[in-house]
A and B are shown apart, each in its own frame.
Chain A
């Protein structure tokens, strides 16, 4: 794969995002570019603003200033629902699953299926049966669901299984891009490998993925480009081919600086 930038329009761009929490500055003019069909890893030290950045894209936070454009159109997300309606699905670090609800209800939370006809329209009856069959089908297709029953409540699941539910929800409903914030943090070796495979599968389907991770080997395994976040800004964008893990850590910590003009590397993977 060549590391030369290809001529492609970005799917998602963030320009000059600023977000402050009281006197703490989370984002200080952060930029982000995501190109079609790629896996973009976002790495950075604690407090570099990785999660803040993607929360702005996901609609969970509203930036103080700055522009977010999706497919060339400027978007303002006030709520996660706004971003979801645009096809942006996110697995948050906290997973955002409801422990007391069962797996199927969690998968369809906020977009429940109703029965067809009068029963659904007038009596608002949920199509629980269809949600359950489709949910278990989805989990099977993704190969990340080893649960006993789809009607189990999420609180009875292990950390890894909960993460699988959250990842499945994003993978099923994301139509434009999927954001994963530390998706392997709670997972064992085998489960992590499954999630990484899932990320590759998503990319092969042409679905762009933003992956936030602390795990450098995983980042270098799946990422097409690596966005390095430092002190609330983009410090560099590199590729696994041009830079080593040590380089990335050096940029993260400020031991190595990248020239301003080289901070925005274009797409390296051609869209399918």
Chain B
């Protein structure tokens, strides 16, 4: 290097490209947001397997996938919504509503007052349509009345829960009362001593389809753009309202499929089904590295997040810890995930 000026520039560039190890981690996580949940999941799996060898028995692993299937499916819908910087607190209520519509319409038992006896495929279709309609109501209120998603879905959470109880008289419909097609999602396919539920396959297919949609279609790109900076998206010629509304409708559809899976998974349709499902889906999405501020996140992260929620619960139970500790662990994970997201968002070039 004979030219002294050139030498100086090279020196400066060397410093420009230099990053501390922490910055390297920050940049990597920024680029691949699903890395952190992947690491957490692997670490959790290893620790729990070491604590209690029963944890990795095929029986327990199939149990974990079955526990994950509903949270995982609804987490797809929740991810799409959170990517637009929204949130859906009513997702569990919509699912319960959808499954009660399916179960009641298909009911054939003569003893029942709400005896529609529709063919099962039609009952399922109408149930999914009911979920889509519920999602459309959310979308309408958010887009047309410009209300914040948090408030809208907090309201519709109560509305859909109440509607379910009013329409279906708080009656749990037992498995034997329902035709087989409604319970098909719960059928287990035996692979050795591992049992793969049909619903799990459906969930994985949905994940694959929507990963494709998010990554490879205009609609997917627009979801990220709208969540990232709605004004910029609108000025770039994207109809933010149309994108938002469509996201809530599609989320309703996924939730409808989730309702069908839920019937199969629990073998019954209860109007008082799992009240924690709302927060579990949000937890899965957040742990999965999707930013609550919108525009950043992946579906694969949410799938990993859903597994983390279930694995931690299951693993701590097998380790002999009380339910309270499991709740505590999940709470800490959520806060850690959000703190990590804040840190990652500060990344520089």
Footprint of B on A, CB under 8 Å?
60, 79-81, 84, 90, 92, 94-101, 105-106, 109-112, 114, 124-126, 128, 152, 155-158
Min CB distance, A94 to chain B, in Å?
Answer: 7
Looking at the complex, which one of A110, A124, A155 makes contact with B236 (CB distance below 8 Å)?
Answer: A110
Taken together as a complex, chains A and B put the C-alpha atoms of A79 and B231 apart, in Å, by: 12
Nearest CB in chain B to that of A97: its residue:
B232
Min CB distance, B251 to chain A, in Å?
Answer: 19
Contacts of B348 in A (CB 8 A): 156
Taken together as a complex, chains A and B put the C-alpha atoms of A128 and B212 apart, in Å, by: 13
Contacts of A84 in B (CB 8 A): 237
Contact yes or no, A110 B228, CB < 8 A: no
Contacts of A97 in B (CB 8 A): 229, 232, 236
Contact yes or no, A96 B217, CB < 8 A: no
- Mostly, the B contact residues are helix
The interface-forming segment of B58-66, B218-226, B272-280 is B218-226
Taken together as a complex, chains A and B put the C-alpha atoms of A111 and B237 apart, in Å, by: 8
Looking at the complex, which one of B237, B295, B296 makes contact with A110 (CB distance below 8 Å)?
Answer: B237
Min CB distance, A101 to chain B, in Å?
Answer: 6
Footprint of A on B, CB under 8 Å?
216-219, 221-222, 224-225, 228-229, 231-239, 295-296, 347-349
Contacts of B228 in A (CB 8 A): 98-101
Contact yes or no, B229 A60, CB < 8 A: no
Contact yes or no, A125 B216, CB < 8 A: yes
Contacts of A158 in B (CB 8 A): 349
Contact yes or no, B217 A126, CB < 8 A: yes
Nearest CB in chain A to that of B296: its residue:
A100
Nearest CB in chain A to that of B31: its residue:
A153
- Mostly, the A contact residues are loop
- Given contacts A98-B295, A156-B348, could you give 16 more A-B pairs where the C-beta distance is less than 8 Å? A79-B237, A90-B235, A94-B231, A94-B232, A96-B231, A96-B235, A96-B236, A98-B229, A99-B228, A99-B295, A105-B221, A110-B236, A114-B218, A124-B216, A125-B216, A126-B218
Contact yes or no, B234 A80, CB < 8 A: yes
With contacts A98-B224, A109-B221, A128-B216 taken as known, whether A92 is within 8 angstroms of B235 at the C-beta atoms is yes
Min CB distance, A203 to chain B, in Å?
Answer: 24
Contacts of B218 in A (CB 8 A): 112, 114, 124, 126
Contact yes or no, A80 B235, CB < 8 A: yes
Contacts of B233 in A (CB 8 A): 98, 109
Taken together as a complex, chains A and B put the C-alpha atoms of A110 and B235 apart, in Å, by: 10
Min CB distance, A207 to chain B, in Å?
Answer: 20
Looking at the complex, which one of B219, B236, B239 makes contact with A98 (CB distance below 8 Å)?
Answer: B236
Min CB distance, B58 to chain A, in Å?
Answer: 36
Contact yes or no, B224 A126, CB < 8 A: no
